[in-house]
Amino acid sequence: MTDVQMVEKFSGTSVVDRRRLLRDFASMTDEQRNVVMEQQTVLMRRRVEQKRQHETKSHVWAHAMLILALFQFHHAKESMKRKRQLSEEDFALLDKHRQSLYSKPRKGSGRRPKALEFVRANYYIMQQWLDAGVSWREMPEVIKEHFRGQTGAQVSWNGLYRAFCHVTTQLDGSGEVRR
C-alpha cells in the first residue's frame, strides 16, 4: 500500500476533502492550529495499536491523524451551525476552538491607533495649528475641514492629544505639550 492510500485509509477522507481541509488549516490562526494539533496528538495516542498493526511510517501516521483531527474539527463546527447534538469529544474540541478565537489581546477603544497614525503623518501641521491658537477641543473640527472629513470624525480631541504627546515624547524626549 502506498503512503497516500494509507493516509486515505486511516483518515477516511478523499483527495478533494484533504485539499479542502488543508486549505482551511492554512488559513487558521495560530491558536486554532494549536487546538487541531492537540487533537492530533490525542488521536495518535488513542490509535497506537492501529499503527502497530499496519506497521505504518511515522510521518504517514502523523499526516493521517492531522487530517482526521481537521475533519473532526470541521465536523464539530458544521454540527454547531446546524444545531445538531454534539458528542462530548466534539463539544470539547469546539469549545477549545471558541476560546482560541477570543484569546487575542484587545486594544483600547480603537481610537488611539487611528489618532496615532494621523498624528505621526501630520505632526508638523498640527504643531502649526497649535502655534496659531487652535485648541485641542477644536482640533477634530479643524482636521475635518482641512482633510475634507476623511479622519476628523473618527478621532476625539483627547485621543489626538494623547497621540500628540506620545509622538512629541518620541521626537524630542521632553513630553511637554501645551494644553
User: How far, CA to CA in Å, does 128 sit from each of 123, 133, 139, 168?
Assistant: 9, 9, 12, 14
**Model confidence band, residue 101 (pLDDT cutoffs 50, 70, 90):** low
Cα 124 from Cα 120, distance rounded (Å) = 9
What is the predicted pLDDT for the residue at 43? 82
Residues 108-153 have pLDDT tens digits of 554 446 778 888 888 888 888 899 898 999 888 888 887 775 654 4
Give the sign of the dihedral formed by CA 151, CA 152, CA 155, CA 159: positive
Kindly compute the dihedral angle of the four CA atoms of residues 137, 140, 141, 146, in this order, to the nearest 10 degrees.
Answer: 140
Assess whether pLDDT exceeds 80 at residue 168: yes
